Structure 1
Amino acid sequence: MENILKVYENYKGKIPNQVIPFAIDPSGNLICFDYKNHEENPIVIYGEHEGAWEEKVLIEGEGITTEEAEKVSEGFLFYGFNL
């Protein structure tokens, strides 16, 4: 099992701000706390890394900026779970 700080350092530039990874599943997908709209009570989200290619496709295929692509793809496809 990886150290939570190491996981965060490895992914912090690839995931949205206020999303904190705390685990990685056997397929390399992230399990994270999402504080973006839930500062007091974060939700748990699942980040599927296989959707990360979308950012590159958006930049090259649609001619949009990196910043615009990040807003759309966020590097991972995230699925939220309210607990």
Structure 2
Amino acid sequence: MGLKKWLFAEGPVDDATIAATEQLFQVTFPQDYKECVKNFNGGYPVPNNFDYDNGAQGVFNDLISFTNSELNITMFREFSQDSFTKGIIPFGRDPFGNLLGFDYRFNKEVPLIIFFDHEEIEEEAITPVCDTFTELLDKLYSLE
């Protein structure tokens, strides 16, 4: 179990880019996440399946890029400011357009990892995944 490698990473992200993004969202990202995106910005984890506590399966398709001009993390600024999703900052996606994110709503220092289903509304859209980014990576496994 656990992450083995990243595919299609877009190249390194520097501390200044991460700090500017943190300032934009007015948060401090967890250190384990920052270390990961420095090296694997926009990458696809292998393996990429994980289980929720309720037994359902999820897929961590890719990290949201800090540098891609077509889709990058700063484009979620409005999402993180909406009344309902205020304090949720996406960092990854599944293959179906749903989001994995940090939930800062209840703890500004230690955000939980959540899944956001874009087809649901309000609290129904949010499913807790685990406590830390490292824990998410450790949960990843292959279906093969």
In structure 2, the residue matched to 1:23 is 92
2:108 is aligned, of 36, 39, 46, to: 39
Identity within the alignment, %: 31
Relative to structure 1, the CA distance from residue 15 to residue 27 in structure 2 (aligned partners, 3 Å threshold; closer, same or farther) is: farther
Q: Hey, what's the Cα distance between the residues in 2 that align with 1:26 and 1:4?
A: 17
Look at both structures and tell me which one has the larger radius of gyration over its CA atoms. 2
1:50 is aligned, of 119, 122, 130, to: 119
What is the aligned length?
A: 61
More helix by share: 1
Relative to structure 1, the CA distance from residue 15 to residue 32 in structure 2 (aligned partners, 3 Å threshold; closer, same or farther) is: farther
Asked if the contact 1:20/1:32 (under 8 Å) is kept, the reply is yes
Measured after TM superposition, the shift of residue 5 of structure 1 is 0.7
Asked if the contact 1:44/1:82 (under 8 Å) is kept, the reply is yes
Q: Hey, what's the Cα distance between the residues in 1 that align with 2:126 and 2:94?
A: 14
Q: Hey, what's the Cα distance between the residues in 1 that align with 2:101 and 2:84?
A: 10
Relative to structure 1, the CA distance from residue 44 to residue 36 in structure 2 (aligned partners, 3 Å threshold; closer, same or farther) is: same
In structure 2, the residue matched to 1:11 is 79
Could you give the per-residue CA deviations for residues 27-69 of structure 1, whole angstroms, max 9, x where no partner exists? 01011111111211111100011213xxxxxxxxxxxxxxxxx
Asked if the contact 2:102/2:111 (under 8 Å) is kept, the reply is yes
Letter of the aligned partner of 1:38 in structure 2?
N
Dislocated runs of 4+, deviation >3 Å: 12-15
Asked if the contact 1:4/1:23 (under 8 Å) is kept, the reply is no
The runs of 5 or more residues in structure 2 that have no matched partner are 1-41, 43-70, 133-144
Secondary structure at the residue paired with 1:37?
A: coil
Q: Hey, what's the Cα distance between the residues in 2 that align with 1:39 and 1:31?
A: 17
Could you give the per-residue CA deviations for residues 6-38 of structure 1, whole angstroms, max 9, x where no partner exists? 2x1463437521111122221010111111112
The runs of 5 or more residues in structure 1 that have no matched partner are 53-72
